[in-house]
Amino acid sequence: MKPTAVVALGGNALLRRGDAPSFDNQLANIKIAAKAIAEIAKEYQVAIVHGNGPQVGLLALQNLAYDKVSPYPLDVLGAESEGMIGYMLAQELQNLLPDTEVASLLTRIEVNADDPSMLDPTKFVGPVYNEDEAGVLAEANNWIMKRDGEYVRRVVPSPKPINIVDKKSIDTLLNAGQIVICCGGGGIPVCRGEFGYQGVEGVIDKDLSATLLAKQLKADKLLILTDADAVYLDWGTEKQRALRATTPAQLSEHQFPAGSMGPKVEAAADFAQFGGRAYIGALEEGLEVLAERAGTCVAV
């Protein structure tokens, strides 16, 4: 039986930073992702988790354009983005691997309704803006904006995932030999209420959900693919340097941006401490990263 790899695709890898959020741009990047994952799937049983920051932010903007109804909550927009990206990924993977079944599963993930992030949003969503644009949008829509590199973006609550509600379905599909696209956008955030599960206004970080999935599946490897080719120290300075092989203890000595590389490093370190091997690298180099010829490897 093939070893299991959980592959996490960043929303910014599927829609590059600064690109217009068009269907054509997303499809072009999804074709690149599908090609990389198809190669991985020849050697591994694959579960794919994808981000949705740019996509769910675009849906939120489109949501505001029709003002005759109240805006849909973020959990519903997250489900919409999960269906959209899951469909596009499944179709491209099936085209590349016609003899392999590919399933895209809407996935609910339990969070705490009183998670601290509800009061301190850090998750970037939507397109990038300059300072003037961001100020106008923040005032008009009561949004919280934070700096993302040289740009400014909207931030929303990002509660931590604590349980994958649909994990048994994922298990069933993987055991049937299918490639499974799940926990999209970090999963649909839900919490337990008086009458069962109910949606939560937030967007779960997909890297943390990917780690939770990898641990619950007892996967062999966790691969986080993004628009950066590795984890860097002193990023953006003359001293910047890539980490190629590191440990959770070494990573804990450094600070990484909370809205971008921070969750990826946290997720990789968490899975490494669990006993697996975690990798962070560029979308186009997926198999090379797993083979430890590119990217960053995190292991105890």
**Residues labelled catalytic:** 11-12, 123, 206, 264
* Amino acid present at 124: F
User: Which letter does DSSP use for residue 205 in this model?
Assistant: -
Q: Which residues contact 257 (CB under 8 A, 6 or more apart)?
A: none
Cβ–Cβ < 8 Å for 26, 221: no
From the centroid of its chain, how far is CA 165? 18
Query: What's the Cα-to-Cα distance from 29 to each of 14, 16, 205, 228, 236, rounded to whole Å?
Result: 5, 8, 20, 14, 25
Cα–Cα distance between 211 and 224 in angstroms, integer? 10
Rounded to the nearest 10°, the torsion over CA 46, 294, 52, 191 is 60
Using a 10 angstrom Cβ sphere, with 0-12 exposed, 13-18 middle and 19 or more buried, the burial of residue 29 is: buried
* Amino acid present at 123: K
Q: How many CA atoms lie within 13 A of 107 on its CB side?
A: 35
Task: Please name which of 103, 83, 84 lies closest in space to residue 93, comparing C-alpha atoms.
Answer: 103
